[in-house]
Amino acid sequence: MTKLLKIIPEKCTGCMQCELACSWVQTGTFQPSRSVIRVNIFDEEASYAPYTCFQCDEAWCMQACPVNAIAIDPDHGAKIVLGEACVGCHLCTIACPFGTVFTLPTMDQHAGKCNLCGGKPACATACPTGAIEWGEAKGTGEWLGAWGEKVERRFEEALAGGTR
């Protein structure tokens, strides 16, 4: 069993507290442009959808990286960007089918993606409406359930020594 971020768009009010918290952890300032969780606002549909990396098992970002700057964190299964190795080529941002790897607006233009805050995601804590839950992957929601199971399977494999 592993833990994942579960996002429930119906509960989101579009307040951006998650973006503030994410940037705070990364930079020590409140800077939503640096956040790797983003809230998309669909005004006409009255829908607000936070989205961030699902930690998907295929991890095309990781496969696309030419300098092996994306790796699996063995402690909690997150795919993390190794800042010192990243050369800012942006291939990962193109490879990700979900658009959840971002170019950070910094001098070196490094890639940025969710690293699950080392196992204590700040966005989930900051959300005032419970739209972002930090919970067990299995059975945490229908749409994420399938992802969760896959992630878990890969995670177990990784733990068994088969790290890609």
Partner 1 sequence: MSGWTGKLLRVNLTNGTSRIEDIPERWLRDYIGGRGVADRYLWEELDPKVDPLSPENKLIFATGPLTGTPVSCGARYMVVTKGALTGAITTSNSGGHWGPELKFAGYDLLLLEGRAPRPVYLWIYDDQVELRDARSFWGKTVSATEDGIRSELGIPGTRVACIGPAGENLVRYACIVNDKHRAAGRSGVGAVMGSKNLKAVAVRGTRGVPVADPKGFMEAVWALRKKLAEAPGRKGMTELGTAATIDLTNAFGGCPTRNFETGQFEEAENLNGNSIKDQRMLTNKACFACTIACGRVTRLPGETADKYLVNTHPRNWKTAGEGPEYEAAWALGADCGVGDLDAVIKANWLCNDLGLDPISMGATLAAAMELYERGIIGDSQVELPLKFGSGAALVRMIEATAYREGFGNELAEGSKRMGEKFHHPEIFMGTKGQEFPAYDPRGFQGMGIAYAPCNRGGCHLRAWTPGVESNGTFPPHATEGKAEWVAVEQNKSTAHDATGICLFTGTGSQLADLVPCTAGATGVPFTLEDFVKAGERTWNLERLWNLKAGLTAADDTLPERLLKTPHTSGPAKGVVVRLHEMLPVYYQTRGWDEQGVPTREKLMELGLASV
Binding residue (CB under 8 A) for partner 1 from 46, 142, 160, 162:
46
Asked if 64 touches partner 1 (CB under 8 A), the answer is: no
- Residue 48 touches partner 1, criterion: CB under 8 A: yes
Rule CB under 8 A: is residue 30 a binding residue for partner 1? yes
What are the distances in angstroms from CA 31 to CA 19, 52, 54?
A: 8, 16, 22
* Residue 90 beta carbon to partner 1: minimum distance, rounded to whole angstroms: 15
Least distance from partner 1 to the Cβ atom of residue 50, Å = 12
Considering beta carbons, is residue 47 or 163 the nearer one to partner 1?
47
Q: Which listed residue (4, 5, 8, 16) binds partner 1 by CB under 8 A?
A: 16
Q: How many CB atoms lie within 10 A of CB 38?
A: 17
Q: 51: which strand partners? A: 38
Q: Is residue 103 close enough to count as binding partner 1 by CB under 8 A?
A: no
Which residue type sits at 69? A
Q: Which one of 63, 103, 129, 163 is in contact with partner 1 (CB under 8 A)?
A: 129
* Closest residue by Cα to residue 4 from 158, 146, 157: 146
Question: Which residues are CB-contacts of 31 (< 8 A; sequence separation ≥ 6)?
Answer: 23
Based on the shown chain and the rule CB under 8 A, indicate whether residue 100 belongs to the binding site for partner 1.
no
Minimum CB separation of residue 101 from partner 1 in Å reads 15
The whole-angstrom separation of Cα 89 and Cα 55 is: 21
Place of tokens 């442009």: 33
**Alpha carbon distance, N-terminus to C-terminus of the chain:** 20
Q: Given the rule CB under 8 A, which residues bind partner 1?
A: 13-17, 20-21, 23-24, 27-34, 43-44, 46-48, 105, 126, 128-129
